[in-house]
Amino acid sequence: MARKIILLLLAAFALVAVGIAEAQQPPKRAKIGWLSTRPVSRSGGGSDVIRRELHELGYTEGKNILFENRSTGGKLDRLPALAAELVGLKPDMLLAYSTPAARALKNATKTIPIVFVSAGDPVASGLVDNLARPGGNITGFSTISSVIAGKRLELLKETVPKLSKVAVLWSRQGSVLQWKEAQLPAQKLGLQLHSMEVTNVDEYKTAFEEAINAGTDALVVGGSSLDNTNQRLIVELAGQYRLPAICPRADYITAGGLMSYGADGVEPYKRAAFIIDKILKGANPADIPVEQPTKFELVINLKTAKQIGLIIPAHVLARADRIIR
């Protein structure tokens, strides 16, 4: 009798183990819809990092994972239609590159899991309830950290002689936190702040003119999706007005910007792949905390510094992770 009971218990445990193993397996062929406000490259950049990380986690594109890519090409008014198109494909998951893309997907479905990458402030933009427990069907990686705003101001103060007034370029759709978080550090550093709020691309030139007329000595670019889509325009205007600017990402600097301090360019995509894997194996996005940067990089463009007549101090250059000469 005892032997029979033991055999029954062993059989029961085996069934439970099989059930758990099956629950942790991703779909036989996972379909992921990727929505971006910029072209999703087939090689290089964040797209390549995500594919590579997923491959290391056991996913082979074309065999057990398939990407459906859609891009607005910088035209944000196309987001609702493209989001609806992706939802109509009935993917296992949706991936959003930028805050507006994530918002469009969230409006399009309340059931399909959504992972966002490179989003600004997900709480202020209404994507999640809070960072620790997002709620709903969405989570991801936010490029904003509470320490970044103060660090950018510190770097500007060390770089620009006699700095007293700094303009902060921000938008209510993605970089509110950068404006709010800059207040206290500015006060501690003895700096005045000038608000450069923009809501569309046509407002940038006027915002720069007003900042110059207000006597600002430098600029912090908040890094909203609107900014990221129009980074070349921002870089051109900063150069035109000879305004030293610190930007949120390294691609602003390769486009001709002066300096950037922000999340490591690879980390968001690596972590996004990890989150995707967890959800495909059964995790609930509502319970997966939104991740924030742990690695930061400083990139400086000496060509741009020379063009605007600025000499970068040696101690600042010594801290740079990358220098463009």
Fill in the amino acid letter for 139: T
The number of distinct structural domains making up the chain is 2
Identify whether the C-beta of residue 291 lies closer than 8 Å to the C-beta of residue 314: no
Q: What is the pLDDT of residue 173?
A: 67
Q: Does residue 10 belong to any structural domain of this protein?
A: no
- Which whole-number Å values give the CA distances from 289 to 97, 124, 205, 228, 278, in the listed order? 18, 16, 38, 25, 12
* Interatomic CA distance for residues 152 and 51, integer angstroms: 31
Q: Does residue 8 belong to any structural domain of this protein?
A: no
Q: What is the pLDDT of residue 3?
A: 55
State the CATH number of the domain containing residue 131: 3.40.50.2300
Identify whether the C-beta of residue 168 lies closer than 8 Å to the C-beta of residue 210: no
| Residue 177 shares a structural domain with residue 303 | yes
Q: Does residue 315 belong to any structural domain of this protein?
A: yes
197 closest CA partner among 184, 213, 180: 180
Q: Does residue 113 belong to any structural domain of this protein?
A: yes
Helical H runs in the chain?
2-23, 45-56, 79-88, 99-108, 148-159, 176-181, 183-189, 204-213, 225-229, 231-240, 250-254, 267-280, 302-307, 314-317
Backbone angles phi, psi at 92, to 5 degrees: -80, -25
| Residue 92 shares a structural domain with residue 229 | no
Q: What is the pLDDT of residue 17?
A: 45
| Residue 279 shares a structural domain with residue 315 | no
238 closest CA partner among 210, 219, 252: 219
Q: Does residue 3 belong to any structural domain of this protein?
A: no
Q: Give the tens place of pLDDT for each residue, 3-54.
A: 555 545 454 454 444 444 444 555 588 999 999 987 665 434 688 999 999 9
DSSP assignment, residue 197?
Answer: E
Report the run of H or E that residue 218 belongs to, with start and end. strand 218-221
For the stretch 19-43, what's the b/e string if a residue is b when 16 or more beta carbons lie within 10 angstroms of its beta carbon? Answer: eeeeeeebeeebbbbbbbbbebeee
Q: Give the tens place of pLDDT for each residue, 128-167.
A: 999 999 999 999 998 877 678 899 999 999 999 899 999 9
One DSSP character per residue, 111-179 reads SS-EEEEEES-TTTTTS-S-SSS--TTEEEEE---TTHHHHHHHHHHHHSTT--EEEEEE-TTT-HHHH
| Residue 77 shares a structural domain with residue 225 | no
Q: Does residue 19 belong to any structural domain of this protein?
A: no
| Residue 98 shares a structural domain with residue 247 | no
| Residue 237 shares a structural domain with residue 185 | yes
Q: Does residue 204 belong to any structural domain of this protein?
A: yes
| Residue 66 shares a structural domain with residue 93 | yes
Does the model's pTM come out above 0.75?
A: yes
- By residue range, what is the domain housing residue 254? 148-263+296-324
- Which whole-number Å values give the CA distances from 75 to 36, 88, 229, in the listed order? 10, 21, 9
Which ranges of the chain have pLDDT less than 70?
Answer: 1-27, 39-45, 146, 173-174
Q: What angle do CA 248, 108, 136 make, to 5 degrees?
A: 75
Q: What angle do CA 53, 247, 140 make, to 5 degrees?
A: 35
Q: What is the pLDDT of residue 26?
A: 55
| Residue 269 shares a structural domain with residue 318 | no
Q: Does residue 257 belong to any structural domain of this protein?
A: yes
| Residue 116 shares a structural domain with residue 95 | yes
* Interatomic CA distance for residues 243 and 245, integer angstroms: 6
| Residue 39 shares a structural domain with residue 185 | no
| Residue 220 shares a structural domain with residue 158 | yes
| Residue 282 shares a structural domain with residue 310 | no
Burial class (CB in 10 A: 0-12, 13-18, 19+), 58: exposed
